[in-house]
Structure 1
Amino acid sequence: MRPLLLVDVDGVLNPMGRPAPDFRRYRCTLGAVTYTVHLNPAHGTRLLDLALATGAELAWATTWQHHANEWISPRLGLPRLPVVPMERRRSSEHGEAAKTPSVAAYAGRRPFVWFDDQVWTEDEEYLRVHRGLADFLLVRVDPEHGLTREHLALAQEWLTLSGFSQGR
């Protein structure tokens, strides 16, 4: 089974803090709302390199849903990626984030790495205990700074050492 690399947008690719000089500012209009996002074009290359090195499939795990393919992918040099369908939920069952059940359903039994700024112990417990998943790595990204080379190296190391890497 080919592993998944699941990527969030806000707080991961679009940091909430003051962006570093290598980030570019964009205005994205979704319906009647215009958002300002700060993106680092190098993130696209780094994510593609990680996917290639490990044989993993990149996918969006974001509330941006398919808008990520319209607004984020082109600015990072990424192709259109599969999107984890997010189900609407009012409250969590066990303290997990609203996206966690959707990620679990999408991943099924495939191993995955999930880059998100809002994954916690409750999410890991939900995935392991309530969904029976064992082969995943939650990479919590500091939303002030966003995705770093260290996060990507951690993912590559886990995929490789766990034997999930299908690197070319």
Structure 2
Amino acid sequence: MKPLILLDVDGVLNPMGRPSLDFRRYLCTVEGVDYTVFLDPRHGRRLLELADSTGAELVWATTWEHHANDWIGPRIGLPELPVIPMTPAVPGEHGELFKTRHVAAYVGRRRFVWFDDQVWAEDEDHLRVRQGLHDFLLVHVDPEEGLTSRHLGMAHDWLTLTGFSQGS
């Protein structure tokens, strides 16, 4: 089975800090609420290249859920992607992000890389100890800066090394 690359939007593709000139400003209306997002159109190409070079599948892991396919993907050049449902948003029991249980349920036993600005040691512990998962890489993205080439390189290296070691 293909490994997964899980993508968050806010803090990852839409940084909270002052974006560089490579980012474009967009106004999105989701369920009657206006949001301003800053997106770098190069992210789509880079993520597609990462998926292609590692044999992985891109998946939305964001509270934007299916709205990411409407508002985010088209602006950065991504096709429609599968979406991990994030509702209900029940708080974690041991300090883990509420999304972590949804991610665990979705990935099953597949290898995955997860780009998120809110993943920490508690999330790794929850996935390893409570869910019994071992083949994953959590990539904490600084929400002020967003996704960088360094993050993509970490994911590429991990997916490539774990792919060879597991005979994928």
Give the TM bin, normalised by the shorter chain. over 0.9
SS of equivalent to 1:163: helix
Q: Offset at 1:100?
A: 0.3
Q: 1:147 — aligned with what? A: 147
Q: 1:33 — aligned with what? A: 33
Q: Normalized against structure 2, the TM-score is what?
A: 0.96
Provide Cα deviations, 1:128-155, integer angstroms capped at 9, x if missing partner.
Answer: 0000000000000000000000000000
SS of equivalent to 2:163: coil
- In structure 2, C-alpha distance between the alignment counterparts of 1:13 and 1:116, rounded to whole Å: 9
Matched-pair identity in %: 69
Q: Offset at 1:90?
A: 3.3
Q: 1:158 — aligned with what? A: 158
Q: Which amino acid is 1:98 matched to?
A: F
- In structure 1, C-alpha distance between the alignment counterparts of 2:147 and 2:164, rounded to whole Å: 22
Asked whether the 8 Å contact 1:5–1:51 carries over to 2, the reply is yes
Q: Offset at 1:95?
A: 1.1
- In structure 2, C-alpha distance between the alignment counterparts of 1:116 and 1:91, rounded to whole Å: 17
- In structure 2, C-alpha distance between the alignment counterparts of 1:161 and 1:89, rounded to whole Å: 34
| Structure 1 moving runs of 4+ over 3 Å | none
Once superposed, what is the RMSD of the aligned Cα atoms?
1.3
Q: Offset at 1:164?
A: 5.8
Q: 2:19 — aligned with what? A: 19
- In structure 2, C-alpha distance between the alignment counterparts of 1:71 and 1:21, rounded to whole Å: 20
Q: Offset at 1:126?
A: 0.1
Q: Offset at 1:32?
A: 1.8
Q: Normalized against structure 1, the TM-score is what?
A: 0.96
**Residue 136 to residue 22, structure 1, CA distance change in 2 (3 Å):** same
